[in-house]
Chains A and B, each alone.
Chain A
Amino acid sequence: MQAAPEAAGASIIGLASPCNLRVIDAAALDCRPALAVIFVAVRIFVFVVLALIPPAFIGWMVREGHRAPAQAAAPAGKVRPSGAEADKILLALFQGDLGGAKVKDKVTLYDEKGLFDSIDGAAPIFIERHFRRQAATELATADGSDVDCAVYDMAEPANAQSIFDAEKSATAKPVTDFPDAIAGSMSFVFRSGRYYVKLTAFDAKAEAALPGLAKALKGKMK
């Protein structure tokens, strides 16, 4: 019976065959099984391509770095502020009295990716230590000198201690009555809690103002 192969061809592939049913004859019907195989193959290929698109796209995103940043675990029993809260606390460090200094323009926050735009190749040693945010700004001292100020929120005190130890200049000296602080020429660096702070002066007057500024900042970190 001729109807069976036609029926099979139509029902399997769901396609219009080049063999028009209106002019079906015995010879034309002979080509249907071969065409059916071809169309089945095409259909399978199309569906394989479609099936591969989502995993390929996800793979591409992973390769390009669209990953959630790794988070350092908070110590047991301690609640770490959320990102927005921590940012608010970080920005609040620059409000009010800063030992006579004030923010000249604005405070810029940098995250893990943005840190390269702030400190370029120095960024990885912070990121390795679970850096969370950098707040960078220029301060004006009471007598009009400028101080470059960078406060790094390292998420945990241990991370801040680690970067403080890693960046300690061999010739920098500890500061009396200021634990976890070192003073170099034109520079004052300290750690307090989860914060690591680098202050850089641009003249002698600003250099003289650095300890007072550091104390004011540290006072706000409690």
Chain B
Amino acid sequence: MMLEWGTMLYSWIIEPFADYGFMKRALIACVAIGLACGPIGTILVLRRMSLAGDAIAHAVLPGAAVGFIFFGLSLPAMTIGSFVAAALMALIANFVTRWTSQKEDASFASFYLIALALGVLLISTSGSKVDLLHFLFGSVLAVDAESLLMIAGASTVSLLLMTVIWRPLMVECFDPGFLRSVGGRGAIVHQLFMLMVVLNLVSAFQALGTLMAVGLLMLPATAARFWCYGVVARSLLAAGFGAFSGAFGLLVSYHANFPSGPSIVLVAGVFYVVSLCLGTRDSFRLILFPTPQHKES
């Protein structure tokens, strides 16, 4: 009996990764993306920038299109194009927010819509029959050694950079005026952080597609919020949720023959809904059934 269960679990969980190289690469890619997205997503949520990831993901389109027009279906060219377009959009939107009194969400909305329209225009005039939408939704099973290196590299760089700029980044989040008054470089730190968001979304595009990558960026972070309060605790939990969603979503996609991106994001979505209903902070459960006791002080 025990043995049967053991073999079943083995064939369900281990075998796909043990037997197929593409599954191994996909697993490493998804876990890496999930780990880096946890803390980044947490900070986006705390800065009330949950939709910025979405905006950035849309802004890759003109860059990818330019890469495609000049170099054809070349992955590096399209990746670099995407990165440049999204980074440029984020930098400009940020710059406008800092120098005028327009709010961040309004600047992001303005510039990503311009970028998106430009992208659609470029694609429709490039005359190609290749559907660039494939690019936006990606396929984790096509991750080769090169893109794996890039994904793992982006995650590692992001996590390291994050620990280096952690202090000014935190102060910039909750008290930017103080940071400015003591001569801290809040603007640069924020730009670096936005570049990290771009880097991760673009690196994740081949595995998940840029649009699906936003799911892995935000859902673990919004889910973690229902379990703990401190920034570090939330970041770690979100990283865990993200990595697990990546691995489990891959298995679901493998066994049920679903597309990988949506499977992974839906697993993250399940984490979010369960957290929303049952979490230990602010969840539906606590709102419907509040604790009747209170402490002495």
- Report if A and B associate in a common complex: no
A residues engaging B (CB < 8 A)?
A: none
